[in-house]
Every structure is written in structure tokens, then in C-alpha cells.
């Protein structure tokens, strides 16, 4: 039966089984003329009743008039998968893509059957409430963020006019894991005491006294350090051990003055490394990584964590297995904060903004922070 819907010619008819002739459903068709290749442009919608089909065709006609290019096959999971495929083609880190596909497979699939054009805020909030029962807050936010970004991409391609995912209320997941903790000044002093003995201690000393991220420490070369006995030393952060080789953010590129204990320890470490390389017929150059394993290979996160715990055992710090290498950064923030250094100064030294500092290190910051006259040695000189 032919009719007009929002100015478009349309028809609705029953579809039957080709053999049994049993009624299956109603089919609605909008006549949109022809595609550029000459083929007829006749999108279809199906439903159990004529009225339901008419509602779908009306919605489709509205979308076409508003410039939206939604397809019947555009489900949430398809749109999200297409977005992750795009990120992979753009060269995002393999670990990032693996994490996204895990979220697709384990979490977004629970809302994935819904067509993008039918998705509502209520759908998203119901989904968040369901997955929150089994996910930690961080994982829940990752899955929700992936959905929001995928719909943002769909909006840029004129598939939807608004992002209902970003309109949904944020909720927390189950309380799992633990917050980062800080080494105490006494524990820092114990590590400083073995700084010239343990081959990995210089890594830990530099981490505690500079707040560098693990991937920044792993990527340091001797060209990034300016060291001279009895002089002020500096470290320049220009790269990180990441997929792109670049630092995490633009703000992460920075230069820092080194604490005296770091300069002394790094100079001794440089001599040790030269001897280790010489036994293998190798030479330490300005481009050599500052921190290398005994076989000369660069450190990665897992190896750094292993040797960090060796240092803690040597320094007689209890329960070394309870610590991770990234907590040297928490220690830096904690000690600097306790010394009265302003949050803005700590954020600059860490290479991120104050908002991030408060979000991840809130418990380490004093309610009121004062300006410190000496940012480095007044803090770590006392701790040493």
C-alpha cells in the first residue's frame, strides 16, 4: 500500500515465508530515488505491526531531513567496534587497542544489540548499573568513556545528533584494589643509605627525588642528564618508553634540577655501567640508556618493578611485594607536600595539571600548601 511519510513516498506490506506463506512481519520502504551508482535507494524497516513500521519510517524520514545518516545495521557494538578499528588504523598503541577490544567483548556487548538511533540515556544508565556490580570504578570509567568516544565519532559522521552516553550519570564500580601509597621519610632515608651499593638504587633515588614517571625513567639517556661532581645537575624529560616514544602529555616535557643525592648516585652509577659494558666489549655513549639491566638491555615496567622490590628488601623495608614502582612518584608528591611546596609547583615538576594532582594524590596533599624557598634539597636533604 502506497502512502507519503514526511514528504517521502512510502509503502508498507506484509512479508510471508516463501514456502509456507505464513505471515512473518510487515515491511516498510521509503523511496529516496537513486544512489550515485544508479541503484534504487529504498531503505527498509520491519516490525510486527503496520503502525510500528510506520513509526520507524517516520523516524527515518526525520533523520534524513535533519541530515542524519543512520543505518538500520548501526548498532552500538558495531559503531564502537568501527571506532576501535579506526584507532588501530591510526596507529594507537597495541596495548590500548587490546584493552578497548576487551571492553567491547566483555562489557559493551551487554548494550551492543541496541540500535544507535534508539539508544537513550536510560539505556546507558541501566547498562552502567549492571556492569558496575562486577567492575572496579577505573574499569567502569574506561568502558563508559569508550562508548562516549565512539558516539562522538558517530556524531561527526552525522549518524546521531546528540551523545546520550555523555548525558548519563556517572556511577562508581565496586571497591577493589588499593590507592597508591607513599614511602615515609625514614624509608626514603634507608634507600638513600644503600644508594651507592645496590645497582638499581640510583633508579629509585632519581624517581623519588624527581617524580619522573616509570616510562620516563626507562627512556632516559645520558644525553638527557647534565652531571658534574659538586655542581647543580639537571634532567631533561623529552621522551618516554611508550608506543609513540613521546611523553604522556605535552606538559610532561620538562627540565628539572636534581637533588644532590641524585647527582652523586648517578655519577657512581655511570662508572658502574661503563665497567659492565666494557666486560661485554660495549661502550657507554651519550645515547645509551641511563638505566640498563645487567645484560645491557633497557628496562621495561615489569623488570623495573622486580628490581625496585630488590632495593626495598636491601633497605629492610617490610613487605616489599606490596609496593609498585609508580609509588616513587606518589612518594615525591607526598614529601614535597609535607614540606609545604605549593600544589602548582608540584604539578609543574610532575608534568601534569593541578586537577590531576589532586585527583590522584589528594590524600598526600596538605589542606593548606605554602611556598617553599628551596624546592629540592631542602626536602630531600632533610630526608637523606
Q: CA 138 → CA 105, 176, 200, 218, 221, distances in Å? A: 17, 10, 31, 25, 33
DSSP state of 237: E
Tens of pLDDT, residue by residue over 140-193, are: 999 999 999 999 999 888 788 789 999 999 888 876 666 788 999 899 999 999
- For the chain, helix, strand, coil in percent to 5 are 50, 10, 40
Residue 373 maps to a domain: yes
Residue 177 maps to a domain: no
Tens of pLDDT, residue by residue over 268-312, are: 999 999 999 999 999 999 999 999 998 899 998 899 999 999 999
Q: Are both 225 and 331 inside the same structural domain?
A: yes
**Which residue stretches of 46-136 are H helix?**
50-65, 76-89, 94-106, 121-131
Q: How far is CA 297 from the centre of its chain?
A: 27
Query: What angle in degrees, to the nearest 10, is found between the helix axes of 76-89 and 137-156?
Result: 90
Specify the 3-state DSSP secondary structure of 27. Answer: strand
CATH code, domain with 118: 1.10.150.130
59-63, 213-217, 271-275, 302-306: least confidently modelled range: 59-63
Q: Are both 258 and 347 inside the same structural domain?
A: yes
CB 15 within 8 A of CB 21: no
Q: Are both 302 and 379 inside the same structural domain?
A: yes
Q: How many domains does the chain have?
A: 3
Residue 180 maps to a domain: no
Classify burial at 46, counting beta carbons within 10 Å of its beta carbon; exposed 0-12, middle 13-18, buried 19 or more. Answer: middle
Tens of pLDDT, residue by residue over 112-147, are: 999 988 899 999 999 999 999 888 888 999 999 999
Residue 354 maps to a domain: yes
Query: 185, 193, 210, 192: which is closest to 376 by C-alpha?
Result: 210
CATH code, domain with 33: 3.30.160
Residue 179 maps to a domain: no
Q: Are both 204 and 278 inside the same structural domain?
A: yes
Amino acid at each position: 500500500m502506497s502512502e507519503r511519510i514526511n514528504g517521502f513516498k512510502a509503502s508498507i506490506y506484509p512479508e510471508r515465508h516463501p514456502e509456507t506463506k505464513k505471515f512473518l512481519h510487515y515491511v516498510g520502504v521509503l523511496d529516496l530515488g537513486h544512489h550515485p551508482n544508479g541503484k534504487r535507494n529504498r531503505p527498509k524497516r520491519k516490525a510486527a505491526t503496520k503502525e510500528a513500521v510506520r513509526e520507524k519510517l517516520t523516524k527515518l524520514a526525520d533523520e534524513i531531513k535533519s541530515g542524519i545518516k543512520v543505518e538500520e545495521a548501526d548498532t552500538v557494538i558495531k559503531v564502537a567496534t568501527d571506532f576501535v578499528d579506526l584507532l588501530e588504523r591510526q596507529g594507537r598503541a597495541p596495548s590500548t587497542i587490546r584493552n578497548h577490544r576487551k571492553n567491547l567483548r566483555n562489557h559493551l556487548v551487554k548494550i551492543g544489540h541496541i540500535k544507535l538511533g534508539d539508544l537513550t540515556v536510560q539505556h546507558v544508565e541501566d547498562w552502567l548499573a549492571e556492569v558496575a556490580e562486577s567492575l572496579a570504578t577505573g574499569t567502569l570509567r574506561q568502558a563508559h568513556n569508550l562508548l562516549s568516544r565512539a558516539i562522538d565519532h558517530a556524531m561527526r559522521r552525522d549518524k546521531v545528533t546528540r551523545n546520550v552516553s555523555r548525558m548519563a550519570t556517572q556511577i562508581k564500580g565496586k571497591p577493589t584494589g588499593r590507592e597508591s601509597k607513599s614511602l615515609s621519610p625514614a624509608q626514603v632515608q634507608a634507600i638513600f643509605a644503600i644508594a651507592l651499593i645496590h645497582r638499581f638504587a640510583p633508579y629509585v633515588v632519581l624517581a623519588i627525588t624527581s617524580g619522573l614517571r616509570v616510562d620516563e625513567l626507562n627512556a632516559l639517556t645520558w644525553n638527557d642528564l647534565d652531571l658534574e661532581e659538586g655542581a647543580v645537575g639537571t634532567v631533561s624529560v623529552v621522551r618516554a618508553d611508550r608506543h609513540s616514544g613521546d611523553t604522556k602529555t605535552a606538559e610532561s616535557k620538562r627540565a628539572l634540577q636534581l637533588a644532590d643525592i641524585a647527582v652523586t648516585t648517578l655519577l657512581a652509577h655511570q662508572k658502574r655501567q661503563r665497567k659492565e659494558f666494557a666486560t661485554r666489549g660495549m661502550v657507554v655513549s651519550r645515547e645509551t640508556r641511563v638505566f640498563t639491566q645487567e645484560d645491557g638491555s633497557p628496562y621495561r615496567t615489569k623488570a623495573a618493578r622486580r628490581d625496585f622490590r630488590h632495593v626495598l628488601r636491601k633497605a629492610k623495608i617490610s613487605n616489599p611485594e606490596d609496593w609498585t614502582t609508580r609509588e616513587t612518584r606518589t612518594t615525591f608528591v607526598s614529601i614535597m607536600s609535607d614540606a609545604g611546596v605549593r600544589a602548582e609547583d608540584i604539578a609543574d615538576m610532575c608534568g601534569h595539571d593541578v586537577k590531576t594532582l589532586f585527583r590522584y594524590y589528594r590524600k598526600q596533599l596538605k589542606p593548606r600548601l605554602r611556598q617553599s624557598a628551596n624546592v629540592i634539597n631542602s626536602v630531600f636533604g632533610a630526608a637523606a
